[in-house]
Chains A and B, each alone.
Chain A
Amino acid sequence: MAAGLYNANAFLQLRDVVKHYGTYVALKGVSLSVEKGQAVALIGPSGSGKSTLLRCINTLETISSGTIKVGDEEIGAETTASGRRQHSAKVLARQREDIGMVFQSFNLFPHMTALENVTSGPRLVRGHPASAAHKKGMELLHRVGLGDKAGSFPRQLSGGQQQRVAIARALAMEPKIMLFDEPTSALDPETVQEVLNVIREVRDTGMTMLIATHEMDFARHVSDRAIFMEAGHIVEQGVSSKVLFSPETERCRRFLAGLTGSVKGAAFSCAPQ
């Protein structure tokens, strides 16, 4: 399957990644690679393993077998001749600094203002002084269009605003790659667009990214490549224009048809859960 897509020069590389939850196998041997500066859309029905895949990449989940590499570094564990050895909490934390993650449900820190959320990484992880972190945090908030909301707490912000703060919070760590897990699926339709615009701007800076999404129009516009998953497998992957417009596999075709059929006409509309 997907022969030739394994790329030794890729920035992010997954090889035969398997993830078990108890006896349930959520990822059944996933191999993929993302080159530096590429944006890759991850699509597929609910339960196909998109979140699991992203969570494994930044080691929120421990994979059962396989390897994940970012740059030259193996993520989460060390594979030696004698087998796999899990990295210590300290090493995991350092590796996650380079891998930004944006969650479906934002997960902002509710006891911190928007600015404090954004500066939490630089201050609490990097130990930057307050003034420097503050300056950079304000720049980021302006970049996501929330310069005037610096002092607001998450519960005083709309869903779209919260998600933009969450993106700024992840960017504050200057990650080498960004993972988005259905960043607009929990949003009201009218705020979806503002978040997609921010993601598009991040993409335009040349950020390497992997985006799980049901927003097909968005995926078509913003991604270089697309990966279609189903039941823990990659069924099809390739350039977006191919996978998202005229897929080779019947399953991917049917999935896309189902989406456009049910939400016809609405730009960037949410897929039904």
Chain B
Amino acid sequence: MSVWDWSVFFHNLVNPTILSGLWTTIWLTLLTLALAIMLGALVALVGRIDHLLTRGFYQGYVAFFRATPPLVQLVFLYSALPQMGIRLSVVEAAIIGLMLSESPYVAEIVRSSLSAVPVAQWEASKAIGMRPVTIMRWIIFPQALRIAVPPLGNEFVRQLKNTSLVSVISMTELFRATDNLTQANFRVLEALSVATIYYLGATTIWTLLQNAFERRNSRWFADAGKVETQPLAKTAAA
């Protein structure tokens, strides 16, 4: 057996099992990230309510789901829940598990992005006569979104990698498809190289999209690292 076989490599590149695994990885990443963003945003909004219970819920939620490994959460959903009479399919367990394990990170990003928008923006909006919901939707949210995009982009990458964990509960995504192939021909190097290239490719395309979004908003958004061109707040509020 030679060290590296190009023909195996190129075969793997277009192997239907691997391509379908790639597709599963992509939709699973996008779907569970979207769900995690909705769930995380909801948790963050609840956490913003100034009450002992809501703040406690937020702290507890984030602590719990961050402290337990995503792999354990997945296996718990798929293998431990049936003992309690709750039977999830592989796909259900994968989607719910990846959503839950990602949600605390999103919640933290949403929370800090919302509070990174200066209080003065609320005040200026109120002074015009805007109602809280209008202020949130049209003034705070767009600014918070721009702040949240770079860290949320990182979460895409994390989530893409985490999808490989669902192979353990036998969902055939990119990694498991690759692994299956090596069981047949024992060419692990060529198979894993292909998987690596696809993971890298997906991350790269995502980064390009993210950069485009950031550029589109760069006319108004001053990066934290850049020096303000305007003397915005020369005087500390007297």
Contacts and interface: CB of A to CB of B under 8 A. Distances in A.
Contacts of A153: 219-220
Contacts of B121: 107, 109
Interface in B129-150: 129-132, 134, 138-139, 142-143, 146
By DSSP majority rule, is chain B's interface helix, strand, loop, or mixed?
A: loop
Q: How large is the interface on B (under 10, 10 to 19, 20 to 34, 35 or more residues)?
A: 35 or more
A111 B235 contact: no
Contacts of B130: 93, 120-121, 124-125
Interface residues of A, number: 47
Nearest to B135: A124
A107 B219 contact: no
Given A155-B222, A155-B228, A185-B238, A105 B129 contact: no
Contact of B123 (A92, A103, A154, A273): A103
A106 B234 CA distance: 11
B233 interface: yes
B131 A97 contact: no
Interface in A147-167: 153-159, 162, 166
A97 B143 CA distance: 23
Interface string A211-230: 00000000000000000000
A96 B126 contact: yes
Given A103-B120, A107-B120, A155-B229, A60 B126 contact: yes
Interface of B: 118, 120-121, 123-132, 134, 138-139, 142-143, 146, 217, 219-222, 228-238
What 10 pairs across the A-B complex have the smallest Cβ distances? A97-B129, A107-B124, A101-B127, A153-B220, A121-B128, A107-B120, A46-B238, A125-B129, A96-B129, A93-B131
